[in-house]
């Protein structure tokens, strides 16, 4: 990793924020943590390190976790971090199944800021049918991460859900989005042409705090907290029931608040009927929520996956100066993850000045497909950068960094983009949007005691 700025400062800010939360001023914090007088301030402003002893001591005497005081690393200080194909090649390893080589894996661009674990994977097993029960196919046990997969060449995709196995023959440009823990496999249908996938796994909000919290709360609680997404009235009923329990409110009180009949309210709570739009507004009012809190997500997955074949994928142009800059093709995704976008970008212009900047709130991963190199231009903190990316190169782009693609040496470069949300969910974005003036800056890096020693 590059020389990193700001780690000590971020650690100090977390320590200050934790002490504020626990209503400790410097003297109290020093006493609790066994620090010398006058040293807590320097620990919180980054001029003294927050070392492991201090973290451990804090986790012993304060009701917090070591993790709460550990910042993340910034391994992408220029806005974009490029991984060259030769670096990917250097990570190549062959994994065997049942004693025979099955996949060649290569790492591509990853960052400590985002939950991507994108792998280039070549199929070393060849089959000559599309039988889901072909004994040559070796299955995995499924895994935690969501998986978006982009196919290159003749590759069979195998997936299993509730005991039923499926095989879908895929070709270049086909893609699939899959839910966690479904067993799956891949095999080539030919060894005469390239057959590989970009297996772009990511955890999103499933990783991190939620997983750690549930690991403590336990399996039974996790099962109880699971909300169905069946596309049925009971999905909404589960949300209404949750709020009733949270408010310690019987259905009769909800009926009184909403003006809905007792019988109708009980139907809605039981899930034997779904509320219409007007009833949703009444229920939200009665429960003190927003309407969106009572609306379950929907999913287009069938047996845990959402398949998008290239021939039926929608594509559209993004205008540049005087001509279209890109042809975008929408790849596999699902309404369960509205903040994930998988896109294939065909770069139409050679002139970077005329191309259009693409910017998003999401973390971005890109991989250069095809045969043509692409010029990547981006701007970050007032500086402009240009890099030529060749086929097989990949990159991570921080949220909010505008990027521009142009054909570096003519041709028609093709780039795969997978954009995902990180821990900054809509709830957090709304929280940022409702903070008192100055709050956002202190949330990002708390730099002060929560009150003034000198008084107002």
Shortest reach from residue 308's CB to Fe ion, in Å: 17
Shortest reach from residue 184's CB to Fe ion, in Å: 6
Number of residues that bind Fe ion (CB under 5 A): 1
**What single-letter DSSP state applies at residue 445?**
S
Helical H runs in 203-357? Answer: 209-217, 219-225, 233-246, 251-258, 262-270, 277-287
The H or E element spanning position 186 is strand 184-188
Span from 53-61, 89-97, 147-155, 424-432 in contact with Fe ion (CB under 5 A)? 147-155
**Position of minimal CB gap to Fe ion:** 147
Shortest reach from residue 199's CB to Fe ion, in Å: 5
Picking from 334, 335, 341, the residue whose alpha carbon sits closest to that of residue 305 is: 334
Beta bridge partners of 164: 161
Q: Which is nearer to Fe ion, 148 or 405 (CB)?
A: 148
Shortest reach from residue 201's CB to Fe ion, in Å: 6
d(CA 105, CA 86): 13
Q: Which residue has the tokens 């069938």?
A: 302
Q: Enumerate residues 6+ apart whose C-beta is below 8 A from 38.
A: 26, 30
Picking from 282, 254, 284, 248, the residue whose alpha carbon sits closest to that of residue 266 is: 254
Span from 76-84, 85-93, 140-148, 295-303 in contact with Fe ion (CB under 5 A)? 140-148
Q: What angle do CA 194, 177, 203 make, to 5 degrees?
A: 110
Span from 144-152, 213-221, 382-390, 430-438 in contact with Fe ion (CB under 5 A)? 144-152
Q: Which is nearer to Fe ion, 9 or 166 (CB)?
A: 166
Span from 57-65, 76-84, 143-151, 421-429 in contact with Fe ion (CB under 5 A)? 143-151
First to last CA, the chain: 44
Q: Which is nearer to Fe ion, 147 or 340 (CB)?
A: 147
Q: Which is nearer to Fe ion, 147 or 236 (CB)?
A: 147
Picking from 80, 69, 63, the residue whose alpha carbon sits closest to that of residue 10 is: 69
Span from 1-9, 27-35, 146-154, 248-256 in contact with Fe ion (CB under 5 A)? 146-154
Q: Which is nearer to Fe ion, 177 or 380 (CB)?
A: 177
Q: Which is nearer to Fe ion, 20 or 165 (CB)?
A: 165
Shortest reach from residue 186's CB to Fe ion, in Å: 9
Q: Which residues are near Fe ion by CB under 5 A? A: 147
């Amino acid at each position: 990793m590059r020389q990193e700025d700001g780690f000590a400062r971020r650690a100090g800010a977390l320590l200050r924020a934790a002490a504020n939360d626990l209503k400790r001023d410097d003297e109290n914090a020093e006493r609790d943590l066994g620090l010398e007088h006058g040293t807590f301030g320097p620990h919180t402003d980054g001029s003294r390190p927050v070392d492991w002893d201090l973290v451990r001591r804090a986790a012993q005497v304060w009701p917090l976790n070591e993790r709460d005081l550990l910042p993340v690393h910034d391994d992408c200080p220029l806005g974009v971090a490029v991984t060259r194909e030769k670096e990917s090649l250097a990570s190549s390893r062959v994994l065997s199944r049942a004693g025979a080589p099955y996949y060649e894996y290569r790492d591509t661009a990853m960052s400590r800021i985002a939950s991507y674990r994108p792998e280039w994977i070549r199929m070393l097993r060849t089959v000559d049918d599309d039988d889901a029960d072909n004994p040559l196919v070796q299955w995995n046990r499924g895994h935690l991460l969501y998986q978006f997969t982009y196919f290159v060449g003749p590759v069979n995709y195998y997936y299993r859900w509730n005991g039923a196995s499926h095989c879908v023959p895929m070709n270049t440009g086909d893609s699939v989005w899959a839910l966690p823990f479904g067993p799956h496999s891949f095999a080539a249908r030919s060894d005469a042409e390239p057959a590989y996938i970009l297996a772009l796994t990511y955890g999103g909000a499933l990783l991190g705090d939620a997983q750690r919290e549930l690991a403590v709360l336990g399996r039974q609680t996790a099962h109880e907290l699971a909300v169905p997404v069946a596309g049925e009235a009971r999905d909404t009923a589960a949300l209404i029931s949750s709020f009733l329990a949270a408010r310690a409110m019987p259905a009769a009180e909800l009926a009184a608040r909403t003006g809905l009949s007792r019988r109708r309210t009980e139907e809605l709570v039981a899930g034997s009927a779904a509320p219409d739009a007007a009833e949703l507004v009444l229920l939200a009012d009665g429960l003190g929520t927003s309407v969106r809190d009572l609306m379950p997500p929907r999913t287009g997955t069938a047996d845990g996956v959402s398949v998008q074949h290239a021939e039926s994928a929608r594509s559209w142009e993004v205008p540049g100066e005087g001509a279209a800059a890109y042809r975008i093709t929408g790849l596999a995704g699902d309404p369960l993850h509205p903040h994930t976008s998988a896109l294939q970008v065909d770069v139409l212009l050679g002139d970077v000045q005329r191309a259009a900047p693409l910017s998003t709130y999401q973390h971005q991963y890109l991989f250069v497909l095809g045969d043509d190199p692409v010029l990547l231009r981006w701007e970050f903190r007032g500086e402009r950068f240009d890099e030529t990316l060749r086929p097989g190169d990949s990159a991570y782009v921080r949220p909010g960094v505008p990027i521009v693609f142009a054909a570096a040496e003519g041709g028609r470069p093709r780039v795969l983009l997978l954009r995902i949300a990180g821990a900054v969910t809509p709830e957090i974005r709304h929280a940022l949007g409702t903070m008192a003036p100055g709050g956002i800056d202190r949330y990002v890096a708390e730099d002060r005691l929560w009150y003034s020693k000198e008084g107002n």
